[in-house]
Amino acid sequence: MDRPQFRASFLHPRFWALWLGLGLLWLTVQLPYRVLLVLGRGLGALMYRVAGSRRHIARRNLELCFPQLSEAERERLLRDNFASTGIAFFEMAMSWWWPKARLAKLAHIEGLEYLQQEGQGVILMALHFTTLEIGAALLGQRQTIDGMYREHKNPLFDFVQRRGRERHNQDASAIEREDIRAMLKVLRAGRAIWYAPDQDYGPKQSIFVPLFGVTAATVTATTKFARLGKARVVPFTQERLADGSGYRLVVHPPLADFPGESEEADCLRINQWIEQAVSACPAQYLWAHRRFKTRPEGEPRLYKRKK
C-alpha cells in the first residue's frame, strides 16, 4: 500500500473535535513515562466503572480460562487488566509521537537473531496483548516488519494511525488483511510479517480446538501461510516491566517442524503456546475480546447477548 498522505479534507469542521482530542493527547504524552503510567492506571480505573459490557466480557473470559483462581483473585486480575488497558492508550500515543531515541530507551529486546536469519520469510506470531502497539513500534525500530492492516472507518484517524506506525519501518509495507496474495508474496521474498492468530474470526476459516480447556474457533491461516509462503513461524511476546524501566520484548526460536501433520495439530500447538504466553503475563492480555463467541453447533452461548 502507498504511504498515507495528508488531505485538505482533513481540515473540514467535522474533524475538528478529533483534531482537538489528538492535540490534547499529544501534549499529555510529553510528560515523563512514569507519570503516564500513573495516568494510565487512573484511566483504566475509570474504564472499569463505565465500560460495563467490556468488563463483563473480560470477567467471563477470566472465569473460563482461570477457574482455579478464587473469585477475589480473578477480580483483582480484572482490575489490573483494565489498568493495563488504560496505560495502553498512552503507549499508543507514545509509539506514534515520541522521538525515536526517547522511545528506544524503553526497549529490552531478546532473540533478535531469529529475525535476522536471511533466506526465508518469517511469520512473526504475536498476540493481542495491551502492549501490542508499543511492542510493535519498539521491535520495528530494530527490524523491518511488514504488517497486516485494516483501514479505519475515520479517514483522519486512519491517516494519523498509519503514519505513526509506519515511521518506525520506512521500508515496511502495510498489507490489507484480506490480500492473501500480497502476504504470500512478501513471505516468499524473505521478509517478516506481523500476524496474530489468537482472536475469534468466525467459523469460516477456523476449526475447533481447546484453548485453556475451552473449545475455541481457531484460525488455520497460520498453517496455510507457512506452507504456501515457505516461511518460518517465529513467536513474539512483549511485557511491560513492573519496575517502570520499559518493555521486555522476546523473539522466541522458530517453531520446529511447522507445519505439522495436520491443521488440527498445528492449531492445538499454537493454542498451547498461547496459553503459556498469556499465563506468564495475564494482566496485560486483551481479555475484553469475545474469544469464545463462535460455538460448535448445539453448544450454548458463553456470553450474554448484546442489548
Please, what sign has the CA dihedral across residues 125, 131, 137, 139? negative
pLDDT interval class at 29 (50, 70, 90): very high
Distance between CA atoms of residues 255 and 222, nearest Å: 12
pLDDT interval class at 116 (50, 70, 90): confident
pLDDT interval class at 146 (50, 70, 90): confident
Q: Averaged over 144-157, what is the pLDDT?
A: 86
pLDDT interval class at 1 (50, 70, 90): low
Q: What is the pLDDT of residues 79-90, one digit of tens each?
A: 999 999 999 999
* Residue 70 domain-assigned (yes or no): no
pLDDT at 32: 98
* Residue 259 domain-assigned (yes or no): yes
* Residue 298 domain-assigned (yes or no): no
Among the residue ranges 73-77, 112-116, 165-169, 273-277, the one predicted with the least confidence is 165-169
SS3 assignment, position 13: helix
* Residue 174 domain-assigned (yes or no): yes
Is 3's pLDDT higher than 80?
A: no
Where are the alpha helices (H) located in the chain, listed in sequence order? 16-28, 33-50, 52-65, 71-97, 100-104, 132-140, 155-166, 180-188, 221-228, 263-280
Percent of the chain predicted with pLDDT > 70: 98
Is 92's pLDDT higher than 60?
A: yes
Percent of the chain predicted with pLDDT > 90: 82
pLDDT at 166: 82
Which three three-digit cell numbers place residue 130? 495491551
Among the residue ranges 76-80, 181-185, 247-251, 256-260, the one predicted with the least confidence is 181-185
pLDDT at 174: 74
Please, what sign has the CA dihedral across residues 130, 131, 134, 136? negative
What is the residue-averaged pLDDT of the chain?
93
* Residue 46 domain-assigned (yes or no): no
pLDDT at 62: 98
Q: Averaged over 48-59, what is the pLDDT?
A: 96
The distance from CA 115 to its chain's CA centroid, rounded to whole angstroms, is 18
Counted domains in the chain = 1
Query: In which domain, by residue range, is 119 found?
Result: 8-15+100-284
Q: Label residues 47-74 b or e (16+ Cβ within 10 Å = b).
A: bbeebeebbebbbbbbebbbeeeeeeeb
* Residue 243 domain-assigned (yes or no): yes
Contact between 100 and 168 under an 8 Å Cβ cutoff? The reply is yes
CA angle centred on 262, ends 260 and 267, rounded to 5°: 85
pLDDT at 150: 79
* Residue 145 domain-assigned (yes or no): yes
Q: What is the pLDDT of residues 155-179, one digit of tens each?
A: 999 899 888 888 887 677 777 777 8
Q: Averaged over 248-265, what is the pLDDT?
A: 96
Please give the model's pTM, rounded to 2 decimal places.
0.93
Is 131's pLDDT higher than 90?
A: yes
* Residue 251 domain-assigned (yes or no): yes
DSSP lists the bridge partners of residue 109 as 249
Distance between CA atoms of residues 84 and 98, nearest Å: 20
pLDDT interval class at 53 (50, 70, 90): very high
Is 283's pLDDT higher than 90?
A: yes
Is 307's pLDDT higher than 70?
A: no
